[in-house]
Structure 1
Amino acid sequence: MNFKKNEKGLTLIEVLISIVILSMVLLTTMSFFPQMGFVNKQNQDKTQAINTAKEVLINWQESNEVKTFLAIDNQTTGFTPAYVNELVNYSFFSYDKFPGYYYFETTRDNYNVHIKIKKSPNTSSSVSYVHSMVVQLLNKRGNIIAETFGYVKR
């Protein structure tokens, strides 16, 4: 018997090696997809928190109750703003936690919200009686995930 050598095909070992190499490349590439999904979820949560913080800031800036509180509290000491509770639904209010600031805590959209309003107005501004304001959103672990700054004019 005379066998001819035919070199036109692939051997079984060559096929198996190419499958192993292709599998390793695909597994490495596929590990990036869950990471990208996780990063996208974090970015989505951060964007949601920033929007919520800005909403809280705008609501407090436009609130007549907050403006009245700032005007009345500047004239009296030890005033507890009971009527502000209806509008902003704060759960904690303090004069002493941050000296020089009115401090409010509340919750909104599953975030803990901390609001600080500077007690003394900025009189150097062209707009008279402007109080600086900080709104911070914290996650369940107490980490700040969004923070925004603004002013309340009384």
Structure 2
Amino acid sequence: MKFIQNEKGVTLIEVLISIVLLSIIFLSVMSFFPQMGLMNNQNQDKAKAINIAKEVLVNWQESSDVKWFLVKTDQVTGFTPTEPKVAYSRFSYDVNYYYFETTKDKYNVHIRIKKFPEISSRLSSINSIVIQLLDKNNRHVVSETFGYVKR
């Protein structure tokens, strides 16, 4: 019987070093998953805010009360313009705009409608409208959209 004289194998130190290296690589890759989950949640919140801002814009564009308010420039019940305080609103105050504030879901909604039409003709006039969604603390704008209200 012939014995194998040259038996090469893996030592215990080599096994431990490979386990340590694989653990470091594994832990660095695993740190990406919570970050991806956080980014995913932020993107979902942003998409929801964009949809809410568009919904508010469409509701204000189609509202007969808003159109009546713009035509008559009288105070209509439910549509009372406010003068935003600099610390409270992200809009810089301008006398050429009507300002409105409301809430929708978990957002504070700031609405600005231009008092004077952008385009005027015998048939209709359009006023620009800006919708901003702010977080509950009014610290930053989550979403903003623009459009026009046709009288």
1:90-143 Cα shifts (integer Å, max 9, x gaps): 7x6326743111100000011000000000012357973100000000012320
Query: Is 1:118 matched up with 2:114?
Result: yes
Query: Is 1:6 matched up with 2:7?
Result: yes
User: Could you state the TM-score of these two structures normalised by the residue count of structure 2?
Assistant: 0.84
Please give the alpha-carbon distance, in whole angstroms, between the structure 2 residues aligned to 1:129 and 1:100: 16
Aligned residues: 139
State the match for 1:70 in structure 2. 70
**How do 1:1-154 and structure 2 match up within 5 A?**
4-7=5-8, 9-73=9-73, 79-82=74-77, 85=78, 93-94=81-82, 97-123=93-119, 128-142=124-138, 143-154=140-151
- Over the matched positions of the two proteins, sequence identity in percent amounts to 57
Structure (1 or 2) with the greater helix fraction = 1
The alpha-carbon distance between structure 1 residues 10 and 100, as it changes in their structure 2 partners (threshold 3 A), is: same
Please give the alpha-carbon distance, in whole angstroms, between the structure 2 residues aligned to 1:38 and 1:127: 50
Unaligned runs of 5+ residues in structure 2 are 85-92
Deviation at 1:33, TM superposition (A): 0.7
Tell me the amino acid that sits aligned with residue 13 of structure 1: I
Q: What SS does structure 2 have at the residue aligned with 1:94?
A: coil
Please give the alpha-carbon distance, in whole angstroms, between the structure 1 residues aligned to 2:134 and 2:150: 26
Please give the alpha-carbon distance, in whole angstroms, between the structure 1 residues aligned to 2:13 and 2:121: 80
- Is the contact made by 1:122 and 1:128 (CA closer than 8 Å) also made in structure 2? no
Tell me the amino acid that sits aligned with residue 6 of structure 1: E
Unaligned runs of 5+ residues in structure 1 are 74-78
User: Could you state the TM-score of these two structures normalised by the residue count of structure 1?
Assistant: 0.82
RMSD of the TM alignment (CA)? 2.2
Tell me the amino acid that sits aligned with residue 150 of structure 1: G
Please give the alpha-carbon distance, in whole angstroms, between the structure 1 residues aligned to 2:6 and 2:124: 97
- Is the contact made by 2:120 and 2:126 (CA closer than 8 Å) also made in structure 1? no
Tell me the amino acid that sits aligned with residue 119 of structure 2: T
Deviation at 1:6, TM superposition (A): 1.8
Which segment drifts farther, 119-128 or 36-45?
Answer: 119-128
Tell me the amino acid that sits aligned with residue 26 of structure 2: L
Please give the alpha-carbon distance, in whole angstroms, between the structure 1 residues aligned to 2:68 and 2:130: 19
